[in-house]
Structures are given as structure tokens and as C-alpha cells.
Amino acid sequence: MKDGRLSSLNLIKKLKKLSDPKQAKDYEWFFKTGPGEYGYGDKFLGIRVPILKKIAKQFKDLSFSDIRRMLKSDIHEHRFVALKILVLQYKNADDIKRKNIVNFYLRNTKRINNWDLVDTSAQYILGDYLLSKDKSILYELAVSKIVWERRIAIISTAGFIKKGSYKDTLKIAEILLQDEHDLIHKAVGWMLREVGKQSLKIEVDFLNRYYEIMPRTMLRYAIERFPEKHRRMYLKRKN
């Protein structure tokens, strides 16, 4: 029998009680919610991430329909908690339930519409599920007109990197080399850096092929852990 307390309505009430207007204003600035900015229209309650994670555990058995209602909300924390719940459910699911979660996730990518929402979910759901499966969906997302879907494509590969598989990270990074969005530059650079933690040679080989054409921000993120001498060398050559 479904626990009546585990509903989106009760979750929304709980989050509202924890709202902090001052912190919300800071988040609106941090997540670029002004006109023309990537987070335009996003609303915040001002609840810190550790608290949101704790609440997600309390509502980890929320139904798909309630999770969908949370994802449809304009309030950022509603969507964040919904995704954390989805990640928790995925971790404890059998193969059939995991497939259902992945399909649900892919049907709702338009609501995973800020960089932290992508980063807190993509690698733990798609990155895990697709490790030993067909990955063509990631290549479809990589050429999407929606920046968040392109970010989902590259960030999902973090799950592959952890298992020593780099091929798809590098292929998707190639697709996104000329992307115009700064948040994609950062994401690709980050994933290349993660590859380098596992195999520096593979990262360096990729950089030596493409550093001259990749955006400077992407390069800076990719070489962040390099010795200062090597960082300066790449950046100087980039100029």
C-alpha cells in the first residue's frame, strides 16, 4: 500500500518550510536566471544541497507520477530533489525497474534544465545503464539543439570513464569541440580531465590533436591538473 505521506504535495510542503529567501536570491544570481541567461525563468527556494539530499532519502519511494510533477515545477529545488530520488531508486532497482527509470529520464530531459541537475543525475543513471549497452542515444543528445541534452551526453560518459572506457567520451568530445556554449566547454574539459586521471597518455594524445581548435575554456578545464610548466605550454601554443 502506498504511504500517503510520500506524495509530491507533502514533499512540496516540506521544501517550502525550509525556504530561505536570502539564499534564494544568491542562487538566482549564481545560476544565471536573468533575461537572456541560461537559467532564465528558474525559481529558487534557497535550500542547500546537503539538505536536499537528506530530504530525497526521506522520499526515495516517491512514484513516477509524483516525480514527474516535481520535474514539471519551475522551482529548481523541486527538480533537483526529483532527480536525486530517481538516482536513489535506480541504485536499488532490478534490471526491469532500471530500464523503466532510464526511459522515464529520457522522456523528461527537457526538465533537466540546469547544469547541476544534469551533473547530479546523468552519469549515475545513463552512465551506469549504458555502460554495456548501445550508446546511440548519447550521440543523438550530443547534436541536440538543447544545451542541457548536449551536456547530458558528455557528462553521462563519466560513468564509462570510471570503468576504464574512454572511447565514447572522446568521440562525443570531438562532436562538441566547436559547441558555442560555455557550459559545454566546461563539461567537455572536465570529462577530458577525468580521462586523464585514468590514462594521461590518452588525454594528452587527444589534446595534441585538438587543442588548437578547442575553446580556451575547454582546454583550461582539461589541463587543470597538469604541472604548471605543461599548462603554460598548452596555453601559450593556443595563443
Question: For 176-217, how does the pLDDT look when each residue is reduced to its tens digit (9 = 90+)?
Answer: 999 999 999 999 999 999 999 999 999 999 999 999 999 999
Whole-model pTM?
A: 0.94
Residue type, 18: L
Which of 111, 129, 149 is the last residue in one of the domains?
111
pLDDT digits (tens, 9 = 90+) for 39-86: 998 999 999 999 999 999 999 999 999 999 999 999 999 999 999 999
Which of 93, 111, 129 is the last residue in one of the domains?
111
Question: Are 97 and 156 found together in one domain?
Answer: no
Q: Which three cell numbers stand for residue 110?
A: 527537457
| CATH label of the domain that carries residue 17 | 1.25.10.90
* pLDDT the model gives residue 236: 83
Q: Is the pLDDT of residue 1 over 70?
A: no
Q: What's the whole-number average pLDDT of the chain?
A: 94
Please give the residue range of the domain that contains residue 133. 121-239
Question: Are 67 and 93 found together in one domain?
Answer: yes
Q: Does the residue 215 lie in any domain?
A: yes
Question: Are 207 and 227 found together in one domain?
Answer: yes
Cβ atoms of 115 and 151 closer than 8 Å: yes
**How distant is the alpha carbon of residue 178 from its chain centre?**
20
Q: Is the pLDDT of residue 5 over 80?
A: no
Q: Which of 81, 20, 28, 72 is nearest to 50 (CA)?
A: 81
Q: What is the number of structural domains in the chain?
A: 2
Which of 50, 82, 111 is the last residue in one of the domains?
111
Q: Does the residue 116 lie in any domain?
A: no
Q: Of all residues in the chain, what percent are helix, strand and coil, respectively (each to 5)? A: 65, 0, 35
Q: Does the residue 147 lie in any domain?
A: yes
* pLDDT the model gives residue 147: 97
